Amino acid sequence: MARAAIQKAQAGWKVSPWMRDYGEARLSFHWELARAELGGVVNMAQAVVDRHADGGLRDKVALRFLGDAGARDLTYGGLQALTGRFANALDQLGVRPGDRVFTLLGRCPELYAAVLGALKHRCIACPLFAAFGPEPVRARLGIGGGRVLVTTPELYRRKVAPIRAQLPQLEFVLLAGEAEAGPGTFALEALLRAASPDYAVRPTDPEEPALLHFTSGTTGTPKGALHVHEALVAHHATGKLALDLHADDLYWCTADPGWVTGTSYGILAPLSHGVTSLVDEGEFDAGRWLGILSDQRVSVWYTAPTAVRMLMKAGAAMARTRSYPALRLLASVGEPLAPEAVLWGEEAFGLPFHDTWWQTETGGIMIANYLAMDIRPGSMGKPLFGVEAAVLKEEPGGRLVEAAPGEEGELALRPGWPSMFRGYWNDPDRYARSFRDGWYLSGDLAKRDADGYFWFVARKDDVIKASGHLIGPFEVESALLEHPAVAEAAVIGVPDAVAFERVKAFVALKDGYAPDEDLRAELLGFGRKRLGAAVAPKEIAFLDRLPRTRSGKLLRRLLKARELGLPEGDTSTLEA
């Protein structure tokens, strides 16, 4: 790739004393350095809000919301008062530290008030994606035992009211805006108005639970990955080392806080660095997004390959109709970032995209293309200092050993970084199964080249990545099975030019149902209504029966191979 673009990005880098050279930084880095920058403050919300509001940043804009009505600014002082009111409101309701406070909200001020206010009160914050349908909402609230849910009247009516009776633990629903109160539902505005803005955060242990983020595996229900207050040390360190955040940055993370990126890098890391962080309340629109990058003078932009591909579709010429005088770092996460996309950044913005890799479970960036080193387009980069990553393969005896350079294996991490998940909620067995021989196994297949750069190969399991969101096939199949016509369902991800993958369902019908277009449309609608647009299948194919092993296990891999016209692999266990 052109050196000029890399050098331009590197020239903008505000060299942090921690890191001038990757190799050198690996030797000198220690988590204590990051911890020390938090000034001994442990509680996440206290560290990212009160530390600045009580320090020199009271009047600085923390969050700038871009909505239909234009821009609305919330200062660090304003955010302190708002989160203080929320924490006091929880206290007055009798909500206790450790209770789970869920949000089902768009990217609005109430979301930030609720997540950070819950953290101040030492509750466990669980943000849900607003595009989930009633079924994913029910499953997650049920597993996490949510006692409080903050949502809007509209989302409540469509997604929560139909399932509320199945959630006996859900005592308090707080409705944003001037909502009508009812049994078990409260108007959030009124509660906040009545509460004091002053809230003194009680001493918080670094190992106290802070965040519960749901993610999916191939089988079973969604898994709640639990993170503790100590995780902020990693958010802070990676905000600096991978995203090069400095107090004068105008930062934009496009991820929704209903997923881990939007929390770790949309709320915690930027506020921890005292930057002004943009929140776009709307959905993707190429022209509008380019306008935001230009008009708001964004300097550091963290986005996802799906968004990059959508901008690529609109064309580099469109991007070049504007100028981006402040832009100095483009970064991406969530799915494979193709070399063409890295290079396209250069064509459109004069800067390459820097890929980063991590997971809900890792809580923060683990592998990245740092400004201090040259990008290899298509590579995820190198491990964070303080993180040991490896590509492992199994020896004939079953022992895990490191694969040779260029050889494929499972991407694994040595446990011990601050934002490592501390468990799957109420599921110690699943947590234990994530570790082997002293390694955390990521479920991703990867390679490491001779120079230490990591390259993504594929997922090892059947989870689907659509528009950067991880989708568990079992959750989709279970919803489809509730339709009276469906006897069996198998769900896979098929390649998609924009979203990386899209959800496709194979359905076998019960006797008496005809596989026609009406039923196909009905099942698509059924899926959307239950699961929401983010999770529902986009395509349905009818089969007489689904391929299973003799022991009855669904062979999604075989469906996928057939779909892609690839060799079917070992089918010796296929049911006759």
Of 191, 189, 111, residue with least CA distance to 149: 111
Question: CA-to-CA distance for 360 and 354, rounded, in angstroms?
Answer: 19
Q: State which of residues 87, 160, 300, 470 lies at the interface with ligand WT7 (CB under 6 A).
A: 470
Helix (H, G, I), strand (E, B) or coil at 162: helix
- How many residues touch ligand WT7 under the rule CB under 6 A: the total is 22
Q: Output the smallest distance, CB 442 to ligand WT7, in A.
A: 6
Say if CB 31 and CB 240 are below 8 A apart: no
Return the range that interacts with ligand WT7 (CB under 6 A); candidates 385-393, 430-438, 440-448, 510-518: 440-448
Q: Output the smallest distance, CB 252 to ligand WT7, in A.
A: 16
Of 287, 286, 265, residue with least CA distance to 278: 265
Sign of the alpha-carbon torsion through 261, 267, 272, 278: positive
Nearer to ligand WT7, 234 or 470 (CB): 470
Q: Output the smallest distance, CB 303 to ligand WT7, in A.
A: 12
How many DSSP H helices and E strands does the chain contain?
21, 28
Q: Output the smallest distance, CB 468 to ligand WT7, in A.
A: 7
Nearer to ligand WT7, 488 or 501 (CB): 501
Per-residue DSSP letter, 548 = B
- Residue 379 in the binding site for ligand WT7 (CB under 6 A): no
Question: Which residues ranging from 41 to 100 are in contact with ligand WT7 (CB under 6 A)?
Answer: none
Nearer to ligand WT7, 335 or 488 (CB): 335
Question: CA-to-CA distance for 114 and 105, rounded, in angstroms?
Answer: 10
Question: CA-to-CA distance for 289 and 287, rounded, in angstroms?
Answer: 6
Binding mask 359-378 for ligand WT7 (x = CB under 6 A): xx------------------
| Cβ-proximal residues to 199 (8 Å cutoff; 6+ apart), any chain | 83, 84, 85, 87, 88, 120, 121
Question: Which residues ranging from 206 to 225 are in contact with ligand WT7 (CB under 6 A)?
Answer: 215
Spacing of C-alpha 519 from chain mean position: 34
Q: State which of residues 12, 142, 336, 515 lies at the interface with ligand WT7 (CB under 6 A).
A: 336
Question: CA-to-CA distance for 73 and 417, rounded, in angstroms?
Answer: 34
**∠ Cα 46 50 53 (to 5°):** 165
Nearer to ligand WT7, 214 or 385 (CB): 214
Q: Output the smallest distance, CB 402 to ligand WT7, in A.
A: 19
Identity (one letter) of the amino acid at 351? L
Return the range that interacts with ligand WT7 (CB under 6 A); candidates 236-244, 280-288, 327-335, 394-402: 327-335
Question: CA-to-CA distance for 505 and 530, rounded, in angstroms?
Answer: 15
- Residue 380 in the binding site for ligand WT7 (CB under 6 A): yes
Return the range that interacts with ligand WT7 (CB under 6 A); candidates 44-52, 119-127, 349-357, 526-534: 349-357
Q: State which of residues 459, 528, 538, 548 lies at the interface with ligand WT7 (CB under 6 A).
A: 459
Instruction: Scan for tokens 């050993």, then name that residue.
Output: 401
Return the range that interacts with ligand WT7 (CB under 6 A); candidates 178-186, 356-364, 412-420, 484-492: 356-364
Say if CB 332 and CB 303 are below 8 A apart: yes
Nearer to ligand WT7, 152 or 264 (CB): 264
Question: CA-to-CA distance for 219 and 427, rounded, in angstroms?
Answer: 14
Q: Output the smallest distance, CB 337 to ligand WT7, in A.
A: 6
Of 302, 360, 358, residue with least CA distance to 127: 360
Q: State which of residues 99, 355, 462, 475 lies at the interface with ligand WT7 (CB under 6 A).
A: 355
- Residue 358 in the binding site for ligand WT7 (CB under 6 A): yes
Q: Output the smallest distance, CB 367 to ligand WT7, in A.
A: 7
Q: Output the smallest distance, CB 204 to ligand WT7, in A.
A: 25
Nearer to ligand WT7, 277 or 356 (CB): 356
Nearer to ligand WT7, 103 or 356 (CB): 356
- Residue 434 in the binding site for ligand WT7 (CB under 6 A): no
Q: Output the smallest distance, CB 246 to ligand WT7, in A.
A: 23
Rounded to 10 deg, the angle between the 517-531 and 134-144 helix axes is 40
Instruction: Scan for tokens 């923060």, then name that residue.
Output: 364
Helix (H) or strand (E) holding 461: none
Q: Output the smallest distance, CB 225 to ligand WT7, in A.
A: 8
- Residue 410 in the binding site for ligand WT7 (CB under 6 A): no
Q: State which of residues 34, 174, 333, 489 lies at the interface with ligand WT7 (CB under 6 A).
A: 333
Q: Output the smallest distance, CB 447 to ligand WT7, in A.
A: 12
**Residue 576 exposed, middle or buried by CB count within 10 Å (0-12, 13-18, 19+):** exposed
Nearer to ligand WT7, 77 or 217 (CB): 217
Question: Which residues ranging from 233 to 272 are in contact with ligand WT7 (CB under 6 A)?
Answer: 260-261
Question: CA-to-CA distance for 314 and 292, rounded, in angstroms?
Answer: 16
With b for 16 or more beta-carbon neighbours within 10 A and e for fewer, the 356-373 pattern comes to bbbbbbbbbbbbbbbbbb
Q: Output the smallest distance, CB 54 to ligand WT7, in A.
A: 31
Binding mask 168-207 for ligand WT7 (x = CB under 6 A): ----------------------------------------
Nearer to ligand WT7, 156 or 301 (CB): 301
Q: State which of residues 86, 456, 506, 526 lies at the interface with ligand WT7 (CB under 6 A).
A: 456
Nearer to ligand WT7, 77 or 222 (CB): 222
- Cα atoms in the 13 Å half-sphere on the side-chain side of 280: 21
Q: Which residues are bridge partners to 251 per DSSP?
A: 277, 300
Question: CA-to-CA distance for 502 and 269, rounded, in angstroms?
Answer: 30
Question: CA-to-CA distance for 85 and 82, rounded, in angstroms?
Answer: 5
Question: Where do contacts with ligand WT7 occur on this chain (CB under 6 A)?
Answer: 215, 260-261, 333-337, 355-360, 380, 442-444, 456, 459, 465, 470
